[in-house]
Amino acid sequence: MCRRHKSGPYGYTQAKALVYSKYGEPSDVLSLHTHSISPSLPSSAVLLRTLASPINPADINQIQGVYPAKPPFTSLLGTSAPSAVGGNEGCFEVVSVGSHIKSVSKGDWVIMKNTSFGTWRTHTLAGEKDILKIDSKEGLTPLQVGTVSVNPCTAYRMLQDFEEMREGDWFIQNGANSGVGRAAIQLGRQWGLKSINIIRDRPDAVATEAMKNELLELGATKVATESELMDQGFKEQVKEWTSGGRELVKVGLNCVGGKPTSALIKCLSPSGHLITYGGMSKQPLALPTSALIFKDIKFSGFWVSRWSDAHPDDKKKTVEEVLKMTRKGTFKDIPVQELRWDWGTEESTLKEAVQGTLGGFRAGKSVFIYGDT
């Protein structure tokens, strides 16, 4: 059943969006723009109401102008200067459909087929070609659907597409507490894979141990800190965990870079594969010559935005597979910090939520949850 939405004169839908017309820090360039959507829908258009939309690091990088994919600045929303809407991921409910729409109907849930659509908004018009219908919303929350297409898809494809991983094989990853890291742990557990998970050292030993235990309960095989990874004896520890090296560490997942990743590479088995999908340390990745020559280590990059845009059918299948696990309770939600977005929510509150994602250790991913809009 569709939740109610704000109606203006003559049946127009009142909508709000977080927009920017130039690149910079979110606190400086974002503004909350109000506009109206006509009740006379184009025949091939869908009116959507946003239910949940997360704030991902890539969203911030887009606003800063340092991300490779940049949404076009347009005047379609009636802003004083051409602008773009922030956000790339979200869960939407169909409010109404144009006369030619056959694939979705009122009350269905959808996600965006491609990136750079702009999801930090209460309502939007979309073409049928822009959306992917969720087969069944039964047993799911908007939060689960709204966060499925970036982090879980990234982890899923990296573990599936680069090496033939068999039950009992190992992978090692840094950023293990991230959304991708937690997804990889859970998918690996489902597929019978073993994992070595590297986390940043916490301010005190109690906090570090608590994080280790949290990931172990999630399905991690082993958890270690960056300082433990950098220790000269860590490679021998990995050898012990992998039955003297007889069990193969086939894949490494890297979102950090710098010296810790160079240390991680040393833990890969011969002919292993390092897949880089981020660079949180903003330090270059130094590739050891010996790893290339003597261990035949392979190095690849993965960008989920490019994969999603090039493989929409595979994206749909991956999303549905993860949501199937979610319904069964075998794929758990990531920790989040929910921010309720109602019609009266102040611009400053929304901007603070976006800017706050740039902080250090956080309790979870920030997600806009849309209430009375």
Interval 191-208 mean pLDDT = 96
Do 16 and 138 have their domain in common?
yes
pLDDT-derived band at 47, boundaries 50, 70, 90: very high
Alpha helices in 202-311 (DSSP H): 205-218, 226-230, 234-241, 258-265, 289-293, 304-310
Interval 213-228 mean pLDDT = 98
The CATH number for 173's domain is 3.40.50.720
Beta strands in 86-231 (DSSP E): 91-97, 109-112, 123-127, 131-133, 170-173, 194-199, 222-225
- What is the length of the chain? 373
Q: For residue range 251-275, what is the model confidence (pLDDT) as tens digits?
A: 999 999 999 999 999 999 999 999 9
Residue 321 belongs to some domain of the structure: no
Question: Is 273:162 a contact under the CB 8 Å cutoff?
Answer: yes
Do 125 and 233 have their domain in common?
no
Distance of CA 176 to the CA centre of its chain: 14
Domain span at 201:
163-305
pLDDT-derived band at 5, boundaries 50, 70, 90: low
* Cβ-based neighbour number of residue 213 at 10 Å: 12
Alpha helices in 329-371 (DSSP H): 347-356
Domain count, the chain: 2
Residue 47 belongs to some domain of the structure: yes
Q: For residue range 76-106, what is the model confidence (pLDDT) as tens digits?
A: 999 999 999 999 999 999 999 999 999 999 9
pLDDT-derived band at 11, boundaries 50, 70, 90: confident
Residue 187 belongs to some domain of the structure: yes
Do 57 and 177 have their domain in common?
no
Q: Is 67 among the residues known to form the active site? A: yes
pLDDT value for 173: 98
- Edge-first strand order for the sheet with 222-225 is 222-225, 194-199, 170-173, 249-254, 273-276, 298-301
Catalytic residue among 20, 67, 156, 370: 67
Residue 353 belongs to some domain of the structure: yes
Interval 349-371 mean pLDDT = 86
Do 341 and 282 have their domain in common?
no
pLDDT value for 7: 58
The CATH number for 117's domain is 3.90.180.10
Do 140 and 258 have their domain in common?
no
Residue 57 belongs to some domain of the structure: yes
Residue 183 belongs to some domain of the structure: yes
Q: What is the mean pLDDT of the chain?
A: 94
Do 297 and 338 have their domain in common?
no
